Structure 1
């Protein structure tokens, strides 16, 4: 399935505002992919599909998490996280995506994880900083591009964790592992 077909299928599943967000993520992911020598076509595919399950029925998503033996810990956290791993399932089963790196970029775009591929980082960051995002601190995150992909990723996951903490929300363990991974990597460079 080509990118235009994917976009049309995704458009039919999302409210207009969310589809505008997807287009912003696609644009940003392609720009970041160019900047950091990541496959632009993989970044485009993952960005198009990253929110494909966003407005799916929660009971259906829960059933997919259970039946496909996805991380059961997801069910102990806010359902907002479910669309990412379920979206990876949809990308494979409905859109025919076989590339595991693309599937992981979709799967971890909300939480991050330790040892992310560059494609995963590109999609995570693009989702956070695309042009339609207007939160406090987004410009600072965008400007980190000059310091490299890992600096952007560490700052992005830190921002996401701080946001959840400020709202008194639990933080999914993958996000903490992601943040710790980048902090520990910096420590190893200094040694």
Structure 2
């Protein structure tokens, strides 16, 4: 039997109360923004809220704990994730949501799984959780260049994600960092999608 989304949100909220206060506050801001974006785009607000609630459930773990748990769960660990284990908090959170909380809605599970990198063929809920995490108010305060994304997100969800990815990929390259292949695949998918509509 499917567990109602509101019931799952209540369970996740109990877990959130155990997280570091700064992380709790980030998740709260992300939830509020995800609901606003969902309303603007006619998406399911409760699905977005659950995805935003659960997205950073393992964000505070140490790199060693993330790697150890990912291996224990049998998750695929890419070379990039092995180098930057923090990227594993999404897949681990998704596994927790699916297997510990019995969330049967794979769209929400996927939103948690891919919220760090995005992925080709993202659903509307996945897109909303992804971008809300990136442009919640405190992040814009810390990185003012993200403000231009907030200017368009309520009208152009794909455009907002493209703008974020452009800024993020440019920053990684400027610092001679490694770009996750899935982020590049997401960029290419959105560009090709946009080009095919012109």
Name the TM-score, length of structure 1 as normaliser. 0.91
Partner residue, 1:33: 38
- Give 3-state SS (helix, strand or coil) of 1:137's partner: helix
Q: Identify which of 124, 140, 159 aligns with 1:151.
A: 159
Once the two structures are superposed, the pairs formed by residues 31-70 of structure 1 within 5 Å of their partners are 31-70=36-75
- Give 3-state SS (helix, strand or coil) of 2:144's partner: coil
Q: Deviations over 1:151-188 (max 9, x none)?
A: 11211222222222233220110000001111112222
How many Å apart are 1:38 and its aligned residue? 1.3
Partner residue, 2:196: 188
| Residue 15 of structure 2 is aligned to residue 9 of structure 1 | yes
Q: Is the 8 A contact 1:112 1:157 kept in 2?
A: no
Q: Where do 5+ consecutive residues of structure 1 fail to align? A: none
Q: Is the 8 A contact 2:41 2:154 kept in 1?
A: no
Q: Deviations over 1:29-63 (max 9, x none)?
A: 01111111111111010100000011124333223
RMSD of the alignment, in Å?
1.7
Once the two structures are superposed, the pairs formed by residues 172-187 of structure 1 within 5 Å of their partners are 172-187=180-195
Q: Where do 5+ consecutive residues of structure 2 fail to align? A: 1-6
Q: Is the 8 A contact 2:146 2:164 kept in 1?
A: no
**Which stretch shifts more, 154-163 or 125-134?**
154-163
**Which stretch shifts more, 60-69 or 175-184?**
60-69
Q: For 2:136 and 2:49, how far apart are their aligned partners in 1?
A: 13
